[in-house]
């Protein structure tokens, strides 16, 4: 989706945090395509930005008019809300006018981060998203899908997965268009389905057998640790599976229609355009 360039301001760029992530990279692409001045927010950028090093924030925020905030690794991790709240304050002091926050659907801590933003004098837009389609093709489950067998914990409810491209369409537009001012969009796809059902769609599209093994959550946590996943990331995965995927997020929301005036992209469309890339193996 193309976004307008009528609000271009080359002297005051838009800072995109999480620019190497699933949504941040897409937001960056859309803003650049529309001719907006942008600043990449990452440790490797110049100036660098590091959530864990607040001394980097001042230079990254200098002259910036708007910021896309995608906190890594997730707003639910301990200390995240305090960190983003401090960032809101730093942004306001730097003269930033607008923040677009990527939030997590069904996460109490993410909603705390939302309320902290809403309590500031900054203009804001919040995109509260369900799990991404791209978790199946851009890390997380990709290696297991390619290997032909995926292991998941039992008890996972159906999820109305959302396309990261829909999130990026809304976020990029909200950074430059005042009609999204002070709006919270809850984003889901148009249909909820289980992880095994998602894997089955990918298997059909790639003409491959992809086994899906369901095991108790405690066994799954042990499996993550045995695979060498750092302890803090093991905790995060188990927390998200047991908290966000307990059925609280199964109902469909209509934020994409509210924001863009069209239905969300479907998982079938995502699979159809992703399978030919070969990322999941032979077709």
* DSSP E strand stretches across 114-269: 123-129, 149-153, 183-187, 211-215
At residue 229, the pLDDT reads 87
Could you tell me the two tokens for 42? Answer: 């990452």
Confidence class for position 7, pLDDT limits 50, 70, 90: low
Query: What is 14-132+162-188+250-265's CATH number, 3.20.20.150, 3.20.20.70, 3.40.50.720, 1.20.1640.10?
Result: 3.40.50.720
Three-state SS annotation for 28-92: HHHHHHCCCCEEEECCCCCCCCCCCCHHHHHHHHCCCCEEEECCCCCCCCCCHHHHHHHHHHHHH
Q: Is 231 helix (H, G, I), strand (E, B) or coil?
A: helix
pLDDT, greater one: 210 or 139:
210
**Is residue 254 predicted with pLDDT exceeding 70?**
yes
CA distance 148 to 140: 14
Side-chain half-sphere exposure of 108, counting CA atoms within 13 A: 3
CA distance 174 to 99: 9
Helix axes 80-93, 108-118, angle to 10 degrees: 20
Average pLDDT over residues 149-169: 97
A 10 A CB-CB count for 109 gives 19
Could you tell me the two tokens for 264? Answer: 């969300």
Instruction: Quick: pLDDT tens for 216-237.
Output: 999 999 999 998 989 988 999 9
- Burial code (b: 16+ CB inside 10 Å, e: under 16) for 178-192 equals eebeeebbbbbbeeb
**Is residue 52 predicted with pLDDT exceeding 70?**
yes
Q: Which residues contact 6 (CB under 8 A, 6 or more apart)?
A: none
User: pTM for this one?
Assistant: 0.95
Q: Is 232 helix (H, G, I), strand (E, B) or coil?
A: helix
Could you tell me the two tokens for 78? Answer: 């301990």
CA distance 130 to 253: 10
CA distance 29 to 44: 18
Partners of residue 132 on adjacent β-strands: 162
Residue ranges of domains in the chain: 14-132+162-188+250-265
Could you tell me the two tokens for 182? Answer: 């002070």
Confidence class for position 3, pLDDT limits 50, 70, 90: low
- Average pLDDT for the chain: 95
Sign of CA dihedral 265, 69, 97, 88: positive
């Amino acid at each position: 989706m193309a976004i307008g360039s009528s609000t271009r301001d080359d002297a005051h760029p838009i800072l995109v945090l999480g620019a190497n992530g699933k949504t941040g990279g897409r937001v960056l692409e859309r803003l650049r395509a529309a001719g907006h001045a942008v600043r990449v927010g990452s440790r490797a950028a110049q100036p660098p930005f590091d959530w864990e090093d607040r001394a980097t924030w001042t230079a990254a925020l200098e002259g910036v008019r708007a910021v896309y905030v995608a906190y890594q690794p997730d707003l639910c991790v301990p200390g995240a809300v305090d960190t983003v709240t401090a960032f809101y304050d730093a942004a306001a002091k730097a003269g930033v006018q607008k923040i677009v926050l990527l939030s997590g659907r069904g996460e109490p801590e993410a909603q705390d981060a939302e309320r902290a933003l809403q309590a500031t004098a900054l203009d804001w837009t919040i995109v509260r998203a369900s799990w991404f389609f791209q978790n199946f093709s851009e890390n997380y489950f990709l290696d297991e899908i390619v290997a032909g067998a995926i292991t998941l914990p039992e008890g996972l409810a159906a999820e109305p997965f959302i396309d990261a491209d829909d999130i990026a369409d809304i976020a990029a537009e909200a950074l430059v268009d005042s009609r999204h001012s002070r709006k919270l969009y809850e984003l889901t796809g148009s249909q909820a389905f289980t992880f095994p059902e998602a894997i089955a769609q990918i298997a059909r599209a790639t003409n491959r057998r992809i086994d899906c093994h369901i095991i108790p959550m405690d066994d799954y946590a042990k499996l993550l640790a045995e695979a060498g996943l750092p302890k803090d990331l093991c905790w995060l995965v188990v927390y998200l599976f047991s908290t966000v995927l307990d059925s609280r997020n199964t109902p469909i929301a209509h934020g994409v229609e509210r924001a863009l005036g069209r239905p969300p992209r479907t998982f079938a469309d995502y699979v159809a355009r992703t399978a030919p890339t070969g990322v999941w193996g032979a077709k």
